[in-house]
A and B are shown apart, each in its own frame.
Chain A
Amino acid sequence: MIEWLWKIAELVVPATEAQWIAAMRAEAPFSPGGPERVQWLAGALTSAVRLRAAAHDADVAAGLLIGAMLAIDWTRGDAAPAILLIAASAIALVWRKPRQTIRATLIAGGALPLAHAVANFNPALWPYYQCKRLDGLDWAILTALFVPAYLAAQAGRCWAERPRSS
């Protein structure tokens, strides 16, 4: 059971921070035993979850932003509040976590076109503004928007995670 819990901590922690969970695991046998060893295991589990959450907090913020934009866009159809949300969130994301913002901002920026595509896929469905089924031109525009954005996000991720000397 304890072995499994250590394995879970090692699975949860991001690969870049794995040494810290390994360090805690290596250190646990040097504590006197009993409750203290449980504290090392509990500490490793909570640290792994915290590190995982910290690695994705920009994505979580982007996800919340997308939810807010969809709610406004699908229920009111107004562009201005959604654009304001994008701008405010982009500023917040840049201010908080510069290395994660490329991906998160692109996700947030792509949410509205994607929402329109999904909404217009079937004009009989609920969203406020939909008027026609997507045609070939719509799909071409969406692809032209999505592919460069996706490639830029991947390039940004690779750049942020590149190995560094020293």
Chain B
Amino acid sequence: MPRPSHGSQQTLTLLEALAAVPGRWRHGVSLTRETGLKPGTLYPMLIRLDRDGYLESRWEEPERPGRPPRHAYRLTAAGRSLAAERLATRSIAAEQLA
């Protein structure tokens, strides 16, 4: 049976982190710390989520002069639904295994 899209364990970890505070804009560094994913793994997942309409992104002005602008991310409404659905499925599967 094919795995549902955005259904990998790593993507679930990312969705969980993004869905923890749904409206908050998140940065790459904090996401790598929270999820334990390396940047080379994290960003392709962010790109896929963005491409499929589950993630929105924006450039933020630097907090201090001389710092570069940062790219920030949060789930869209569709992304929040996807996260809720995928995480619920994972919980049910975990309960069935227990």
Residues of A within 8 A of B (CB): 17, 19-20, 22-27, 29-31, 39-40, 42-44, 46-47, 50-51
- Complex CA gap A47/B27 in Å reads 17
Find A26's partner among B38, B41, B42, B69 (CB 8 Å cutoff).
B69
Residues of B within 8 A of A29 (CB): 67-68
Is B71 interfacial (CB 8 A cutoff)?
A: yes
Q: Considering the chains assembled together, what is the distance between the CA atoms of A44 and B39 in angstroms?
A: 8
Q: Can you pick out 22 interface pairs between chain A and chain B where the beta carbons lie within 8 Å of each other?
A: A17-B47, A19-B71, A20-B43, A20-B46, A20-B47, A23-B70, A23-B71, A24-B28, A24-B43, A26-B69, A27-B70, A31-B29, A31-B32, A39-B39, A42-B39, A42-B40, A43-B39, A43-B40, A43-B41, A44-B39, A44-B40, A47-B44
- Residue ID in chain A nearest B39 by CB atoms: A43
In the complex, are the beta carbons of B38 and A43 less than 8 A apart?
A: yes
Q: In the assembled complex, which residues on chain B have CB atoms less than 8 Å from the CB atom of A25?
A: 68
What residue in chain B is nearest A26 (Cβ atoms)?
B68
> Contacts of A46 on B, CB cut-off 8 Å?
40
Q: Please, how many residues of chain B have a CB less than 8 angstroms from a CB on the other chain?
A: 19
With A29-B68, A30-B29 known as contacts, the answer to whether A24 contacts B39 (CB < 8 A) is yes
Please name 10 further chain A to chain B contacts, defined as beta carbons within 8 Å, in addition to the given A43-B41, A46-B40, A47-B43, sorted by A numbering. Answer: A19-B71, A23-B28, A24-B39, A27-B39, A29-B67, A30-B29, A30-B70, A39-B40, A43-B40, A43-B43
A79 to chain B, nearest CB (A): 36
Task: Return the contact of A27 from the options B29, B38, B47 (Cβ within 8 A).
Answer: B29
Partner of B47, one of A40, A42, A44, A51: A51
Residue of A nearest to B50 (CB): A20
Given contacts A29-B68, A44-B39, whether A50 and B44 have CB atoms under 8 Å apart is yes
Residues of A within 8 A of B29 (CB): 27, 30-31
A140: min CB distance to chain B, Å: 44
> B2 to nearest A CB, angstroms?
14
Q: Report yes or no: B70 in contact with A26, Cβ–Cβ below 8 A.
A: yes
Determine which of B27, B39, B46, B69 lies in contact with A40 in the assembled complex, contact meaning CB atoms within 8 Å: B39
Which of chain B's residues has its CB closest to A47's CB?
B43
Closest chain B residue, CB of each to CB of A32: B29
- Tell me, rounded to whole Å, the shortest Cβ–Cβ distance linking B55 to chain A: 12
